[in-house]
Structure 1
Amino acid sequence: MKLLVSSVRVIDKKSPFNGQVKDILIEGGKIRQIGDNLGAGDAQVIDGTGLHVSAGWVDMRVQGRDPGFEHKEDLHSVREVASRGGFTEIVLLPNTQPVVDTKDTLNYIRHSGFGGLVTLHPAAAVTKKTEGVDFTEMMDLHQAGAIAFTDGENPVQNADLLLKTILYLRPLNALLINRPEDRELTLYGQMHEGVTSTLVGMKGMPSLAEEMMLIRDLKLLEYALEKNTYDTSAPVLHISLLSTVRGVELIREAKAKGLPVSADIAAHQLAFEDKDLIDFDTNLKVNPPFRSTEDNEALRKGLADGTIDAIVSDHNPHDEESKNLEFDHADFGITGLETAFALSVMHSGLVLEDVIEKLTVQPRRILRLPAAGVEEGSAANLTFFDPHAEWVFGKTYSKSKNTPFLGQTLRGKVRGVINNGKQEWFK
């Protein structure tokens, strides 16, 4: 592939061309030259007027559903959806059937993405079948290429298991991801515990369930590590899907202590509040649930001051049979890959450079992935986008349609992605 993208604005804090409009020449999968009025020669030419370019985006939390639930999503469709959302690399959670708790299942996912436009990074389970009872062979899975370890949708409830996992993974320089939810406190819960849940007569999911689990996880992390020897260049523990005021405060306090911890939030978390569930729209049933105005304000502040490191899509596809039900019977989750960038632009309160950093630099740091950027000689792993374009989300390329954003006008449109010598462009 030889490609010249002309007149595109670079968004990359580490690039000497950051904020400048430049031509970019790509050849042999690498950025060969960045400059003004570059000659095209025999290269394909793309007019990049009005477009921005950054390093390819990384999504740290995707349910791929394959193997086992291919009617909801499969590895082909999830790559298509990811590319249209601007993501060139995605982390797939292990909650499949079979669970990603053996090298065979791990390799099935990794090999299906080799050399593709979207690179697949499977996370492996901490416990067999993500049941929270027996450990998986984490060393073998790490050596086989697991990007991280997590029980995904099933937070590790057993404190001893979590402590031993931290101790086991630290010498491997491997990452543990956990979502903070005490399931004894959220049992039968349907939405955020508050005024709205009381008004509609729904069992609430209290903020306390997140806070208690987070306090436990951070205490165990501190207990497991020797004091004064913290290395925060890459976190040992990553907390996924923060949603509460106190949750943000706890991460802020842990970082002030120097603990090697990081955190993310879902892009959709800021788009709604618990009061929006008054009409029982099952497309708004997510976990963690949409919470209060005060919680959302705390999340925005956490993003702005760096307490929250990354933004994820939490892509969670479900078929009609799982969502088109009474609210208390419907599954949790919405699809998010195609809308994550637009929602980040519209609702995070961040300037564009900081949005991009939370989709590129920080996920790669947390996951121990090689750095990527818009620099001469670097691999051409790039996302092209227009942050100002308004567009109607009229069609999803996911196999599942469980999103509240279909038919809505969004701001921030992905226009193309390049990775592994492949490219795709969108209108």
Structure 2
Amino acid sequence: MKILLQAATIYNPQSDYHLQQQHILIEDGIITYIGQEAREADETVAAEGLCVSAGWVDLHAFVGEPGLEYKEDLHSVAAAAAAGGFTEVVCLPNVEPVVQSKGGVSYIRNRSLHLPVTLLPAAAITVGAQGKDLTEMIDLHQAGAVAFTDGTNPLQGADILLKALQYVQLFDGLLMNKPEHTRLTEHGQMHEGEASTRLGMKGIPSLAEEVMVTRDLQLLAYTGGRIHFSLLSTAAAIEAVRQAKAAGLLVTCDVASYQAAFTDATILPFDTNYKVAPPFRSDADVMAIKQGLQDGTIDALVSAHMPHDTEAKKLEFDLADFGIINLETAFAVASTTLRDVLTVEQLVDKFTSGPRRILRLPEPRIAVGEAANLTLFNPNATWTPTAEATKSKSKNSPFFGQQLRGEVIGTIHQGQVVLR
């Protein structure tokens, strides 16, 4: 099958055609022509403002399968990811059973072979993601785990993190940790500040994130190795990472693409679709996130996709689960809220080269003879997501009904074309 991308602006620094508008012909999943002359094709994608980049990579998504398929399964998450422009997605290990065996890793890899999205399994650091005993990380690495994390369970024990950092150096592996001191966040519902006091909710202090980032960086300096912080949200934590990078430590970090969309003062009170972990924080934290993205301290933007069934969200605020779905809206939310600090080129980098550098994945190149791993988008088009149109099994999103700027047109990956 021949597909022509007509007059597409290319965002791919690895390509000789970076920032140029070209026609791109793809035959059976391979780029066969790039140039100014239109070629005949079985299907032509011609859209105003059409842009193309290397396929986007998400570092942080929850996939319910196996065990929690009623929240999300591999097929629904792949459909949501493709609709959101992602061609590769890192899956958290917090399923039932936890991804902590070679069989668990292989299950995810094999099941995604014929999907339009490559699902990349992250394996647990500790057995059951309980923070006590280390898993067989060498075996899991050889089976295809791209990173190691306890996912939604932050590592609490300094001794466990130290041993894990030493262990993964045997194969240059990557540890990913969500920094949170759970004793300090216990029973917390939203950011600790004036808004939480006014609403009478127990707060989640910034300190809970900051002390763990500081601790982990001290351990990293002591042991060596590589660590990645997932879902940073506070100014002090971002500054700590900035200083650690300047000191030469191998540390990277990401933020949820929605983290700058709201503050604790702008969320709709008691609406559980605004209940996320870490929570929406202060204006100062949002400013720090924007600065960190601009100066490169923050390496990547992620969806932080956390689907929940109705029974987990339609509850009193203090009883509802944390998290929202965001695979389909990740780029648009970031494009809407961050375009005052990031150009389109910089924004695309946070979804393409940034995640690949962290995982040390090869960079797709838009060039003749290369396999097509592409995301098609219009950074300036506006659209409105709805619960009825979502590909996810779950509907927990604060962005339904809101007009967003930045629309995904489709993806081309593994020989499969998905157009919205």
Name the TM tier (shorter chain). over 0.9
Which amino acid in the other structure matches residue 276 of structure 2?
Answer: V
- Aligned residue for 1:413, secondary structure, equals strand
State how 1:118-137 maps to structure 2 within 5 Å: 118-137=117-136
Q: Which residue of 2 aligns with 1:287?
A: 277
For residues 154-195 of structure 1, the C-alpha deviation after alignment (integer angstroms, 9 at most, x for no partner) is: 011000110110111012111100011000111111110000
Q: Following the alignment from structure 2 to structure 1, what is the Cα–Cα distance between the partners of residues 398 and 51? A: 27
For the Cα contact (< 8 Å) 2:230–2:255, is it kept in 1? Answer: yes
Q: Which residue of 1 aligns with 2:247?
A: 257
For the Cα contact (< 8 Å) 1:392–1:408, is it kept in 2? Answer: yes
Q: What is the Cα deviation at residue 104 of structure 1?
A: 1.5
Q: What is the Cα deviation at residue 47 of structure 1?
A: 2.1
State how 1:19-418 maps to structure 2 within 5 Å: 19-40=19-40, 43-225=42-224, 236-277=226-267, 279-348=269-338, 349-394=341-386, 395-418=389-412
Q: Following the alignment from structure 1 to structure 2, what is the Cα–Cα distance between the partners of residues 262 and 375? A: 29
Q: Which residue of 2 aligns with 1:8?
A: 8
For the Cα contact (< 8 Å) 1:244–1:298, is it kept in 2? Answer: yes
For residues 84-133 of structure 1, the C-alpha deviation after alignment (integer angstroms, 9 at most, x for no partner) is: 00000000000000000111222111111014210000100001110111
Q: Following the alignment from structure 2 to structure 1, what is the Cα–Cα distance between the partners of residues 163 and 251? A: 17
- Aligned residue for 1:199, secondary structure, equals helix
Which amino acid in the other structure matches residue 425 of structure 1?
Answer: L
For the Cα contact (< 8 Å) 2:71–2:394, is it kept in 1? Answer: yes
Q: What is the Cα deviation at residue 425 of structure 1?
A: 0.9
For residues 189-210 of structure 1, the C-alpha deviation after alignment (integer angstroms, 9 at most, x for no partner) is: 1110000111111111100000
Q: Following the alignment from structure 2 to structure 1, what is the Cα–Cα distance between the partners of residues 86 and 4? A: 21
Q: Following the alignment from structure 1 to structure 2, what is the Cα–Cα distance between the partners of residues 39 and 133? A: 59
Cα 1:409–1:49 change in 2 (3 A) is closer
Q: Which runs of 5+ in 1 are unaligned?
A: 226-234
Q: What is the Cα deviation at residue 82 of structure 1?
A: 0.3
For residues 2-34 of structure 1, the C-alpha deviation after alignment (integer angstroms, 9 at most, x for no partner) is: 222111111122322122110001123221221
For the Cα contact (< 8 Å) 1:6–1:49, is it kept in 2? Answer: no
Which amino acid in the other structure matches residue 408 of structure 2?
Answer: V
Q: Which residue of 2 aligns with 1:231?
A: none
For residues 54-92 of structure 1, the C-alpha deviation after alignment (integer angstroms, 9 at most, x for no partner) is: 000000000001111111110010000000000000000
Q: Following the alignment from structure 1 to structure 2, what is the Cα–Cα distance between the partners of residues 39 and 322? A: 51
Cα 1:200–1:295 change in 2 (3 A) is same
Identical residues among aligned pairs (%): 52
Q: Following the alignment from structure 1 to structure 2, what is the Cα–Cα distance between the partners of residues 251 and 321? A: 38
For the Cα contact (< 8 Å) 2:75–2:115, is it kept in 1? Answer: no
Aligned CA-pair RMSD: 1.2
- Aligned residue for 2:182, secondary structure, equals coil
Which amino acid in the other structure matches residue 22 of structure 1?
Answer: Q
Which amino acid in the other structure matches residue 284 of structure 2?
Answer: E
- Aligned residue for 1:64, secondary structure, equals coil
- Aligned residue for 2:141, secondary structure, equals helix
For the Cα contact (< 8 Å) 2:192–2:203, is it kept in 1? Answer: yes
Q: Following the alignment from structure 2 to structure 1, what is the Cα–Cα distance between the partners of residues 62 and 223? A: 30
Residue range with higher mean Cα deviation, 138-147 or 375-384: 375-384
Q: Which residue of 2 aligns with 1:232?
A: none
For the Cα contact (< 8 Å) 1:200–1:278, is it kept in 2? Answer: no
Please give the TM-score of this superposition, normalised by the length of structure 2.
0.97
Q: Following the alignment from structure 2 to structure 1, what is the Cα–Cα distance between the partners of residues 249 and 44? A: 48
Number of positions where the alignment pairs a residue of Structure 1 with one of Structure 2 = 416
Cα 1:277–1:411 change in 2 (3 A) is closer
Q: Following the alignment from structure 2 to structure 1, what is the Cα–Cα distance between the partners of residues 365 and 262? A: 33
- Aligned residue for 2:170, secondary structure, equals helix
Which amino acid in the other structure matches residue 21 of structure 2?
Answer: V
Q: Which runs of 5+ in 2 are unaligned?
A: none
